[in-house]
Structure 1
Amino acid sequence: MAAGRLISLLATLFLSVSLLLLWFTLLSGITSTSPLRQTYFLRADTSGITGARSISQWTYFRICGLDNADCGPARPGLPLGDAWASDADGVPDGLIGGYGDGTTSHEYWYMWRFGWVFYLIALFFMTCAFLGSWLACLGRLGAGLIATVSSVGLLFLSVAVALMTATFVKTRNAFVSDERSAELGAYGFGFSWGSWAAMFVATVLFCVARRGHASDGVGRSSKRWSGSTFGRRKSSGTAGSRRSWDGRRVKDEYA
């Protein structure tokens, strides 16, 4: 199998792993089955906060209780402060403000909202790259096209994961500073960063596959050129020998 085609298949494998991990991240909180039941971005002690559960877990679509049970309604673009009531008392400093019906400060509102949007844009480009990944097996042009689409998906995924990380690390620090227990979700962060790592490898491999297809093409062209040149030389040599032999025979006959 040509090197470019083999590398393209390997890149597609990493891309499919990246998509799978990203779906695990996005569907967290939707069902109680594993591993989605264990997937959340942040778990914090919200006892004593107006309208909040004793323990709150932030997932992609919902705010849930312990082990992603007792979840609120699923909705897109969830504000960070959806875990408590409007103008609630007892919220750590910096988290509450006038956004999201008086539940979220402008900093956390925009950080998480933009992170959510970039996740969706990354998902779109990653899906396009996956559906068209067979083009990368056909030749240099196809591999270059998929490498470009994959690079765009990687860019948006990088921004999404970075914003998610910044949002919930800062939120955890705010709870800890308020002397409340808080911890980051190992599954949520693991799936997100694992998806990014697999996407990074896939993008690099698609770029390498493009060069692999180019090398395969150069090798085949060199063989064809060498074969045709050798054939012409052999033919020329044979014709020259025939002309030389015929010339000597005619000369001998007239001698």
Structure 2
Amino acid sequence: MQYKRFVNAIVCLFIVGAGLLSFFLILSGARDSGTLKNFYWFEADTSGFNDAPDVTRWYNYMYCGYADHETYDCSDKGADKPFSPKDNFGESPNMPRTFIDHRETYYYLSKVGWAMLLISLFFTVLAIVPIFLSIFKLARPLSITTCVLCWLSWFFITLAACLYTGCYAKAKNAFHHDDRHAKMGAKNFAFLWTTVFLMGVSSIWTMIDAITRRKEKYNKYRTTDVYSDTEVVGAVPPVESQPSSGRTFFRKLRTKKHETPAGVMAEEESHEKVVEGVQT
């Protein structure tokens, strides 16, 4: 079963990779300088939105102005900073109308998407432990547990990807409708959908592995059960069959048939002796 260990090692790398990508997505926006400033969710032309910068980038924990490849005038940092131009800059006549009329849509899509991302990372970390232990034979294979955890992680990361994509795709269309520049963060969304792919492949393989292990265990149990039954039957001495009532009846009947001619012959001999005595 070397090929299974090899595939399990690859799947373990997939799960670890998905966990690292998810962790990096959560870190994006933690700092407004260095490499992390290039990992954003959305960039748009926000000129004329009250005191907003000309170009704004939205991160996980803040939004910042962006010019000359540098960020500036960043907002206060907070966990799960929602995407909502109305809440970020206040209502403005220059703002696309959808951000005012449907403010809750963008607000809650980004908020719930962040929550799903965190839940997915939690299940991803949990899934790494049993598959890692099974590869190095440090514990009994927990294939069903790994399968369930992988599918849960895949479900929540897919939900997060759909929510984030839906939120910022709608926002991009709204800005483009008003002839404003807008684009989604290519790196963040590439990481996000790559994580979906990695967890999807891992979930399918762990399900196949769980089914095959279950089948092998069942076949082994059946084989052991058959062997044990054969040994028990061979060890038991043969039991003599007891005659049934029907057999006893017919046996007695046959005995009587055999005994009847002897009795008749005895009576005939005694009768002849009596006759001879009389004649004498």
Under a length normalisation based on structure 2, what TM-score does the superposition of the two structures give? 0.69
1:118 pairs, out of 86, 96, 116, with 116
Structure with more relative contact order (C-alpha pairs < 8 Å, separation 6 or more):
1
Flag the 1:29–1:77 CA change in 2: closer, same or farther, 3 A.
closer
In structure 2, give the amino acid aligned to 1:148.
Answer: V
Partner of 2:83: 80
Question: Alpha carbon RMSD of aligned pairs, Å?
Answer: 2.9
Q: Distance in 2 between matches of 1:135 and 1:204?
A: 19
Q: Distance in 2 between matches of 1:211 and 1:8?
A: 14
Do residues 163 (structure 1) and 163 (structure 2) align?
yes
Give the count of matched residue pairs.
Answer: 221
Higher alpha-carbon deviation: 163-172 or 190-199: 190-199
Q: Is the 8 A contact 1:56 1:64 kept in 2?
A: yes
Q: Is the 8 A contact 2:59 2:81 kept in 1?
A: no
Q: Is the 8 A contact 1:4 1:212 kept in 2?
A: no
Could you say what secondary structure the match of 1:65 adopts?
Answer: strand
Partner of 1:107: 105
Q: Percent identity?
A: 25
Q: Is the 8 A contact 2:114 2:160 kept in 1?
A: yes
Flag the 1:212–1:205 CA change in 2: closer, same or farther, 3 A.
same
Segments of structure 1 that go 5 or more residues without pairing to the other structure are 98-103, 233-255
Partner of 2:37: 37
Q: Deviations over 1:147-174 (max 9, x none)?
A: 1011011111111100000000000000
Do residues 91 (structure 1) and 90 (structure 2) align?
no
In structure 2, give the amino acid aligned to 1:40.
Answer: Y
In structure 1, give the amino acid aligned to 2:81.
Answer: L
Runs ≥4 residues deviating over 4 A: 214-225
Q: Distance in 2 between matches of 1:211 and 1:6?
A: 18
Structure possessing the higher radius of gyration over alpha carbons:
2
Q: Is the 8 A contact 1:19 1:127 kept in 2?
A: yes
Q: Distance in 1 between matches of 2:52 and 2:134?
A: 50
In structure 2, give the amino acid aligned to 1:114.
Answer: V
Segments of structure 2 that go 5 or more residues without pairing to the other structure are 232-280
